[in-house]
Amino acid sequence: MPMNPDLEKERQGGTFDVEQLTHILDGGRDKTLKRHFLEQEVLKDPVFRGPDTRFLSREELFGELLRKHVAVIKKTQELSIDDINEASTIYSAAMNNNVGPLTLHSVAFVAPLDLMADDEQKKKWLIPAKKYEIIGCYAQTELGHGSFIRGLETRADYDVNTQQFVLNTPTETAIKWWVGGCVAVGDIGPKFGFGGVDNGYLCLNNVRIPRDNLLAKTGKVLEDGTYVKPENPKVVYGSMLGIRAALPKVGAYNLSKAVTIAIRYSCVRHQSEIKPGCGEPQVLDYQTQQHKLFPLLATAYAFHTVGVWMLDFHSTVMNEINEGHYHRLAEDHVLAAGLKAVINWKTHEGIEICRFSCGGHGYSLASSLPVIYVNHVANSTAEGETVILLLQTAVYLMKCVIDLEQGTPLDPSVAYLDQSFSKSEQWCSDVDMHSLLKAIQFRSKKFTEYVSSFVKKELMATGNQQLAFNKHKVILVECAKAHTEAVIMNAFVTKVDEILQSNPSVGKVLSLLCQIYGVTEILAHSGDYIQYEYLRKIDLDNIQDQLFKLYTYIRPEAVLLVDAFDFHDEVLKSILGRYDGQVYENMFKWAKASPFNKQDQGTFRKYIQQLKQAKL
Ligand SMILES: CCCCCCCC/C=C\CCCCC/C=C/C(=O)SCCNC(=O)CCNC(=O)[C@H](O)C(C)(C)COP(=O)(O)OP(=O)(O)OC[C@H]1O[C@@H](n2cnc3c(N)ncnc32)[C@H](O)[C@@H]1OP(=O)(O)O
Ligand SMILES: Cc1cc2nc3c(=O)[nH]c(=O)nc-3n(C[C@H](O)[C@H](O)[C@H](O)COP(=O)(O)OP(=O)(O)OC[C@H]3O[C@@H](n4cnc5c(N)ncnc54)[C@H](O)[C@@H]3O)c2cc1C
């Protein structure tokens, strides 16, 4: 199919090599080539062909995705893939923006076995689980409790005579609920999204399991019922840590898809007039459309950068823990908590903005933006609700303030809290990314001190930490967000500095995106910078001008920057986001193919007939 002339023209501009940026995003040319190979292994294999999942009922969707997910597993085994990124490539190429039915087995059942099973148990369960000879799920949440783990009611009473645990969900609120991939007892019913996953309920009534079913690497029950505590009790939370550490990159992936669709479509879509008689411009030429999408384009790159960094950090900490060193578990937990919370929340807001920016066609499943949205938005609740996780980060920051007062060294990711920040020089309209980073770190430091002063005063008054925290939860959450933004911006600036050395032309365009991210973040909290007397009104006016100027620099690069995400059309599955930009013809073809247009609407005639007969 010929290339849409608008997109063809967009691809003749640009100042950097798209392929080199794709290689950087993938982690090197070899990784790009391997990703292409794996995608083709799926896309050329007829077993992965099937009905357009956007037209399917919940039951049909589950069946079709289960069929495909089993094919994904076979393909992954056939190709001897064990790298999680490569396995995810095969998975994403097949799932058409859905979450597959066996996802929880991979991300929430295998991981705890890896982390908390002793060698014997690994042989017994981890090895067959990795081969899908046993399929598992993660049944923690109950009808009455999800966030408050210590409030869970399920019982495991030890029967010393039989060396068994007797499992019970003693109350209705104790019923296990939301259990992804729970194939025994029942499905909890239709949901907002996640149609490919059978989130189940599980009632336990005197279910007996052997003593050695308790994962024993981090704590065990002896034959006489004595409980031997794990060296570090917090490691039992580790199974939630793994998914949280991975979700920032999942957020980046989903936002990159949405931004690709919206920016390509905004170049194809012509609407209204700027100069009368000069034809309808591309909607991406409107400043308001750029103001919707360019900060999100910058955010997608920022989130990808920090998502890769978080996964590396987490993997290092897990290796340390496997060797018995727990000193970085707390930092890993609060980084994963803050990044998972902020990134997934801003991603679902961003996907919605992308959908709105495509007008009516964004609301059609032909765009796939609604599919990406309803499947992504779960990640702001699942694996730790947003506020719950931000409070974890906030409590850690309050401890950092005490550590600072006591001269205890801080973890590297919060070291900036110990830095002194002088009020900025007057800003013009070309503030560099390092100055923007300093400002964002300054705000986080000041906010942490400000919140800590309130919590301390409350603690003095009540002597109760939980009460003190509860009274200031709103500003504690804001404090955690401010810190997390400092972590994101630091990762982005660090990566762009590195790329400026290795590939100056790519680095330059990414530094523009980094400035857009930083300026947008500062303008979103401009009142704080005035209140803390770090910036003046003139500074804020200047960086507002800078933002609009940056949009003009990014405009000719925008399509190339989303092309660099390198989504194959069959992976993106969006008519608005097609690489060739042939939207209208394919929208019409897709609509005509809808089963709704094929069914004989006998019901229509039957009921309208009744109206006519009713002699209204
Ligand atoms: C082939 C590959 C396919 C790839 C597929 C890719 C696509 C996938 C897309 C999406 C997949 C997503 C699937 C989602 C499925 C969802 C699953 C679930 O939801 S499972 C259930 C999740 N539930 C939760 O997260 C519950 C949240 N609540 C809690 O974690 C806890 O209740 C709490 C909020 C942390 C409170 O804990 P507690 O009550 O014990 O009190 P605290 O005092 O706050 O904590 C005690 C100390 O423990 C430390 N802590 C807490 N949590 C952790 C942790 N996780 N790790 C380490 N340390 C932790 C805490 O800091 C306290 O420490 P101190 O202050 O005492 O030092
Ligand atoms: C798509 C999806 C898949 C899931 N898959 C699984 C799975 O496979 N296995 C599993 O075990 N669970 C699963 N879950 C459940 C999930 O882990 C919980 O929904 C999540 O932990 C939130 O807990 P909750 O639902 O009890 O919400 P609640 O904690 O009841 O939250 C309700 C509101 O109360 C607020 N709140 C609660 N506690 C506090 C507090 N201390 N301070 C301030 N505000 C508070 C929250 O911020 C929120 O606004 C899944 C959920 C979803 C949506």
CATH no. for residue 203?
Answer: 2.40.110.10
Is residue 243 within 6 Å of ligand 2 at its C-beta?
Answer: no
| Enclosing domain of residue 218 | 149-234
pLDDT confidence of residue 316: 96
Residue 217: HSE in the Cβ half-sphere, 13 Å Cα cutoff: 20
Residue 571 CB neighbours (<10 A):
19
Candidate of 141, 202, 393 to mutate for ligand 2, largest count of ligand atoms within 8 Å of Cβ:
141
Alpha-carbon gap, residue 86 to 103, rounded angstroms = 15
Is 557 assigned a catalytic role? no
Write the CA distances from 186 to 198, 200, 202, 358, integer angstroms.
9, 5, 7, 38
The last residue of one of the domains, among 563, 579, 594, is: 563
- Atom 33, ligand 2: which residue's CA is nearest? 385
Indicate which CATH number applies to the domain containing 554: 1.20.140.10
Q: Is residue 240 part of a domain?
A: no
Per the structure, the count of domains in the chain is 2
Dihedral angle sign, alpha carbons of residues 24, 28, 34, 38: negative
> Which atom number of ligand 2 is nearest to the Cα of residue 141?
11
Of residues 130, 131, 149, the one with CA closest to residue 140: 149
Q: Is residue 333 part of a domain?
A: no
Q: Is residue 201 part of a domain?
A: yes
pLDDT confidence of residue 184: 52
Is residue 104 within 6 Å of ligand 2 at its C-beta?
Answer: yes
Of residues 223, 201, 199, the one with CA closest to residue 212: 223
Radius of gyration (C-alpha) of the chain in whole angstroms: 26
- Full 3-state SS string of 13-37: CCCCCHHHHHHHHHCCHHHHHHHHH
pTM (2 d.p.) = 0.96
pLDDT confidence of residue 535: 95
Candidate of 232, 348, 392, 469 to mutate for ligand 1, largest count of ligand atoms within 8 Å of Cβ:
392
Q: Is residue 114 part of a domain?
A: no
Q: Is residue 310 part of a domain?
A: no
Residue 310 CB neighbours (<10 A):
27
Q: 512: part of which helix (H) or strand (E)?
A: helix 504-524
Q: Is residue 321 part of a domain?
A: no
pLDDT confidence of residue 538: 95
Q: Predicted ipTM?
A: 0.97
Q: How far is the CA of 553 from the centre of ligand 1 (A)?
A: 41
- Full 3-state SS string of 360-372: HHHHCCCCCHHHH
Instruction: Specify whether the backbone of 117 is left (phi greater than 0), alpha (psi in -120 to 50) or beta.
Output: beta
Is residue 180 within 6 Å of ligand 2 at its C-beta?
Answer: yes
Q: Is residue 377 part of a domain?
A: no
Residue that the structure tokens 């942490």 belong to: 448
Q: Which ligand is nearest to the CA of 254?
A: 1
Q: 179: part of which helix (H) or strand (E)?
A: strand 176-179
Residue 8 CB neighbours (<10 A):
12
Q: Quick one: 49 exposed, middle or buried, by C-beta within 10 A (0-12, 13-18, 19+)?
A: exposed
Alpha-carbon gap, residue 384 to 243, rounded angstroms = 10
Is residue 140 within 6 Å of ligand 2 at its C-beta?
Answer: yes
Alpha-carbon gap, residue 46 to 189, rounded angstroms = 32
Q: Is residue 592 part of a domain?
A: no
Alpha-carbon gap, residue 211 to 159, rounded angstroms = 9
- Atom 38, ligand 2: which residue's CA is nearest? 147
180 known member of a binding site = yes
Phi then psi for 118, rounded to 5 degrees? -80, 180
Residue that the structure tokens 């068994």 belong to: 164
316 known member of a binding site = no
The last residue of one of the domains, among 179, 201, 234, is: 234
pLDDT confidence of residue 31: 98
Annotated active-site residue in 10, 39, 383, 521: 383
Residues with CB under 6 A from ligand 1: 87-88, 91, 99, 103-104, 106-108, 138, 140-141, 146-150, 180, 234, 237, 240-241, 243, 250, 329-330, 333, 379, 382-384, 388, 392
pLDDT confidence of residue 615: 63
Residue 546 near residue 430 (C-beta atoms within 8 A): yes
The last residue of one of the domains, among 563, 580, 603, is: 563
Low-confidence ranges of the chain (pLDDT < 70): 182, 184, 601, 614-616
